[in-house]
């Protein structure tokens, strides 16, 4: 389920650990590099701290989901084969939930942008200064691009799945 912990062999995997694994599935990274990626992805809504990220990575390693290689004095984290298999299985089971959450988030985002969080201060789009409207439209575009990127990932995953089934 989105937003709730997952389990791996009796071990709790938090939503933030799941996100770390998703990022590491793209490419191996050293710890601070991963923190920078997470900060960029969650700009303005979550600031990952080293005191939380490194222990989370260590727990994922202890569970056998990550491997660590020291390169030039930096620990580079990557998914283990078990981690990749678990992540694939977990994400495959979340497809409808992810799409539901993406649409829900889009609807909430549009409502927020329309009202800017305060109904009594709501200004209809046609009455807003052009620079304000432009900034709001850019925010909507950014959210939509993030949703499209997520959907592209789902499409690639399903295409790969269909391709593997066709090879069988």
122 shares a domain with 58: no
Phi/psi of residue 163, nearest 5 degrees: -65, -45
| The pLDDT of residue 119 | 47
- Residue 38 located in a structural domain: yes
- Rounded to the nearest 10°, the torsion over CA 80, 83, 84, 89 is 160
> How confident is the model over 21-25, as a mean pLDDT?
96
d(CA 157, CA 122): 41
The residue range of the domain holding 78 is 6-87
61 shares a domain with 11: yes
Domain endpoint, select from 87, 112, 140: 87
Domain endpoint, select from 53, 87, 121: 87
Please tell me the total count of domains within the chain: 2
| The pLDDT of residue 2 | 45
Q: Is the pLDDT of residue 27 over 90?
A: yes
Mean pLDDT comparison of 40-44, 70-74, 136-140, 148-152, highest-scoring range: 70-74
Q: Given phi > 0 = left and psi -120 to 50 = alpha, else beta, which region is 43?
A: beta
| The pLDDT of residue 96 | 76
Instruction: Kindly state the percentage of the chain with pLDDT values over 70.
Output: 88
d(CA 53, CA 60): 11
Q: Is the pLDDT of residue 28 over 90?
A: yes
83 shares a domain with 115: no
99 shares a domain with 83: no
pLDDT band of 125, cuts 50, 70, 90: low
Q: pLDDT: is 136 or 156 the higher one?
A: 156
112 shares a domain with 163: yes
Collapse the DSSP code of 78 into the 3-class scheme (helix H, G, I; strand E, B; otherwise coil) and give the result. Answer: strand
102 shares a domain with 73: no
Mean pLDDT comparison of 6-10, 82-86, 101-105, highest-scoring range: 82-86
44 shares a domain with 98: no
**Mean pLDDT of all residues belonging to the chain:** 84
111 shares a domain with 53: no
| The pLDDT of residue 80 | 97
Q: What is the CATH number of the domain that holds 57?
A: 1.10.10.10
- Residue 1 located in a structural domain: no
| The pLDDT of residue 124 | 60
116 shares a domain with 74: no
- Rounded (5°) CA angle 138-46-10: 130
- Residue 27 located in a structural domain: yes
Q: Which string of b and e fits 25-36 if b means at least 16 CB within 10 Å?
A: eeebbbbeebbe
83 shares a domain with 13: yes
128 shares a domain with 71: no
């Amino acid at each position: 389920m989105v937003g709730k912990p997952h389990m791996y062999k009796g071990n709790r995997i938090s939503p933030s650990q799941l996100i770390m694994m998703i990022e590491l599935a793209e490419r191996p990274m050293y710890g601070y590099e991963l923190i920078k990626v997470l900060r960029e992805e969650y700009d303005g809504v979550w600031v990952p701290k080293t005191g939380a990220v490194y222990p989370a990575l260590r727990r994922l390693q202890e569970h056998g989901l990550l491997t660590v290689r020291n390169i030039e004095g930096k620990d580079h984290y990557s998914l283990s084969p078990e981690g990749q298999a678990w992540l694939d299985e977990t994400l495959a089971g979340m497809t409808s939930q992810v799409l539901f959450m993406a649409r829900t988030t889009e609807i909430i985002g549009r409502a927020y942008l329309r009202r800017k969080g305060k109904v009594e201060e709501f200004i209809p789009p046609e009455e807003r200064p052009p620079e304000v409207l432009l900034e709001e439209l850019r925010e909507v575009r950014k959210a939509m691009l993030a949703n499209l990127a997520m959907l592209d990932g789902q499409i690639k995953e399903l295409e790969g799945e269909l391709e593997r089934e066709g090879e069988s």
